[in-house]
Amino acid sequence: MNSSVDQAELDKFEAMAAEWWDPAGKFKPLHGMNPVRLDYVTDQIAQACGRERKGARPFAGLRVLDIGCGGGLLSEPLARLGAEVLGADAVARNIEVARLHAAQMGLEIDYRATTAEALAAAGEAFDAVLALEIIEHVEGPAEFVATCASLARPGGAVIVSTLNRTPQSFAMAIVGAEWVMRWLPKGTHDWRRFITPAELETMMSAAGLQPVDQRGMQYNPLTGDWRLSSSDFGCNYIATALRPAN
């Protein structure tokens, strides 16, 4: 099976691994968007799996894969909702950081230093597969989406978030976040690898998935707030597709 690993991309994350849980550090944008994307992901998983967003552990018994989990920013709140979370990342140091933090929080999460391809080859299947802010860093994004699709059980959901390839995303994610605000080291993102919502939808359909929803994630530089948008897909966005039930 093809490997989604691009070693030069992994090296960037290896170098930043200590900062995962620092809300003011290099992953500040991920911390900022975490509440809105958690809300979105929770909604989509609940819909796909017929769960109500009620009670303390609405996702009890659901198996969720967080591929490219980094330090576990999203794995942790999903585990709190009761999901059995497998957090996978190709960078071993990220997995060490994620494990340590989950233990400090008293959370049980199955963290593994591995790739989507290896999990697929092992025949793993999940109610939901999350690939958040990873697709712009992998080798072969279309193949990567196909691998994610094969990891979802029939009827399961695949949720992908990334950056659109627009003048606006160049201004915000490259000039703003890397050159001006210096949240991220210069070169963390390669604008040419950003993916338009239409391209992502094509990849999902080609992988046999049924695209069901797309939302923009809009950052307000004046207030520092993030919100979901039905009309602004200019920079960050998140999309859901379902694997057809048998």
Total site size for ligand SAM, rule CB under 6 A: 21
CB of 216 to ligand SAM, least distance (A): 16
* Residue bearing tokens 């198996």: 63
11 marked ligand binding residue: no
What does the angle CA 209 – CA 53 – CA 99 come to, to the nearest 5 degrees? 75
Sign of CA dihedral 5, 8, 12, 15: positive
Strand order in the sheet with 63-67: 110-113, 84-89, 63-67, 126-132, 152-163, 236-242, 210-220, 225-229
117 is an interface residue for Mg ion by CB under 5 A: no
Q: Which position among 48, 49, 62, 74 is part of the footprint of ligand SAM (CB under 6 A)?
A: 74
Cα–Cα distance, 238 to 31 (Å, whole number) = 16
9 is an interface residue for ligand SAM by CB under 6 A: yes
* Residue bearing tokens 């593994």: 112
Stretch that binds ligand SAM, among 5-13, 39-47, 170-178, 234-242 (CB under 6 A): 5-13
CB atoms within 10 A of CB 17: 19
Q: Which position among 26, 51, 99, 137 is part of the footprint of ligand SAM (CB under 6 A)?
A: 137
DSSP letter for each residue of 200-217: HHHHHHHTT-EEEEEEEE
Q: Which position among 48, 91, 146, 239 is part of the footprint of ligand SAM (CB under 6 A)?
A: 91
Nearer to ligand SAM, 73 or 177 (CB): 73
Nearer to ligand SAM, 94 or 164 (CB): 94
Contacts of ligand SAM in 13-72 (CB under 6 A): 13, 30, 68-70
162 is an interface residue for ligand SAM by CB under 6 A: no
118 is an interface residue for ligand SAM by CB under 6 A: no
Amino acid, res. 198: A
Per-state percent for the chain, helix, strand, coil, to nearest 5: 40, 25, 35
Binding annotation: 37, 68, 89, 132
* Footprint of ligand SAM (CB under 6 A): 4-5, 9-10, 13, 30, 68-70, 73-74, 89-91, 94, 115, 132-134, 137-138
